[in-house]
Amino acid sequence: MCQQTRVEAVKGYYLRFLRQLPTGRDLADCPEERLYKLWEGLGYYSRARNLQKAAKAIQSEHGGRFPADYASIRALPGIGDYTAAAIASIAFDLPYPAVDGNVLRVVTRLCASRADIAKESTRAEVRRSLLPLFRGVSAGTLNQALMELGALVCLPNHAPDCGGCPLRSLCLSASGLWKEIPFKSAKKARRNETHTVFLLRCGDAWALRKRGKEGLLAGLWEFPNLPGRLDAQAALDAAAGWGCRPVSLLRHMEKTHIFTHVQWELPAWVIECQERPAAFTWAAAEEIKSVYSLPTAFRQFMEDMELIKENQNEKSDPIE
């Protein structure tokens, strides 16, 4: 859960997750829809899928016991070099350096290295350079000490506490070179996409559909949407084409959602309909909130839907 998400943001989800799925067997056997609902709001849903795949592998390949060697841990779905090393060292005291962003910053500053920390080759070199330090010491304690040093002392954004650093006398960047280290090459620019969202209401129910099994937000629920920005008439035509028999436009709104590599612009039309085509799943707003795993990109529309429900007499634009 803490991969790419702050611990403070994770705590509530983690406790709820453990209450609902207290054992590895519970996780392995959990229906996909329930798993996604428990994960709802955390984002990066591939983590949930990999977590369950790992639980299933532990049940089928390791007799329900978490493997105690690095190679077997690393082979579990969703576990990379860093996570495998962290588990191996902290849980089993195995001598594997766990190199995250904090540790990269500490080591590159310590050595005054200008290697690009965005490259896997740099991470691999840092792991190799740290390995001799793990002989004859508590591997888990050393890894956690390096992580905490980066998190609390050797801070990013040009704000390290060099005066309070226990490694100051060894650090080749302490005299001021830390301002230039670590070096990280620029990320590719985030691309923009526009999707017109349809909030189709028929009675007290709203239309949902499930996304495909591949790609972004795979297997999650969404409100119907089409690529591009559709005007009012095009939106009504699309709803009619789905067999919804639209009778009025209730509202237009604009939302945005930012993923790691893409930004979605989400113009949305709220449309009153007379038919519920079977191509969609229809559910009341409260049921959507409690049952369906709706990613944040679409869940942000729920407040508007509830406001519309509260104001059933809201002025609408009837279709001639």
Q: What is the CATH number of domain 84-186?
A: 1.10.1670.10
The tokens for 69 are 């060697």
Prediction pTM value = 0.78
What burial class does residue 122 get, using C-beta atoms within 10 Å of its C-beta: 0-12 exposed, 13-18 middle, 19+ buried? buried
Residue intervals of the chain classified under CATH 1.10.1670.10 are 84-186
**Which mean pLDDT values do the consecutive 10-residue runs of the chain (320 residues) have?**
82 92 96 91 88 96 96 96 96 96 96 95 96 95 96 89 94 92 90 97 95 90 97 96 92 93 96 95 93 92 76 50
Compute the Cα dihedral for 34, 39, 43, 45 and give only its sign: negative
pLDDT of residue 306: 73
Q: Which CATH class is domain 191-318?
A: alpha beta
What burial class does residue 19 get, using C-beta atoms within 10 Å of its C-beta: 0-12 exposed, 13-18 middle, 19+ buried? exposed
pLDDT of residue 292: 92
Backbone angles phi, psi at 75, to 5 degrees: -80, -15
Of 269, 295, 267, nearest to 206 by C-alpha is 269
Residue intervals of the chain classified under CATH 1.10.340.30 are 1-66
Tell me which H or E stretch contains 269: strand 262-273
The C-alpha atoms of residue 219 and residue 202 are separated, in whole angstroms, by 24
pLDDT of residue 41: 84
Compute the Cα dihedral for 141, 144, 146, 151 and give only its sign: negative
DSSP state of 283: E
Q: What is the CATH number of domain 1-66?
A: 1.10.340.30
Per the CB < 8 A criterion, the answer to whether 92 and 136 are in contact is: no
The C-alpha atoms of residue 272 and residue 249 are separated, in whole angstroms, by 6
Backbone angles phi, psi at 83, to 5 degrees: -65, -40
Q: What angle do CA 30, 36, 42 make, to 5 degrees?
A: 130
The C-alpha atoms of residue 279 and residue 243 are separated, in whole angstroms, by 9
The C-alpha atoms of residue 178 and residue 76 are separated, in whole angstroms, by 37
Which long-range contacts link 68-73 to residues 24+ away (Cβ below 8 Å)? 68/92, 69/94, 70/94, 70/96
Residue intervals of the chain classified under CATH 3.90.79.10 are 191-318
The C-alpha atoms of residue 254 and residue 215 are separated, in whole angstroms, by 24
- SS3 of 72, please? helix
Compute the Cα dihedral for 224, 227, 230, 236 and give only its sign: negative
pLDDT of residue 4: 74
Per the CB < 8 A criterion, the answer to whether 140 and 97 are in contact is: no
pLDDT of residue 93: 97
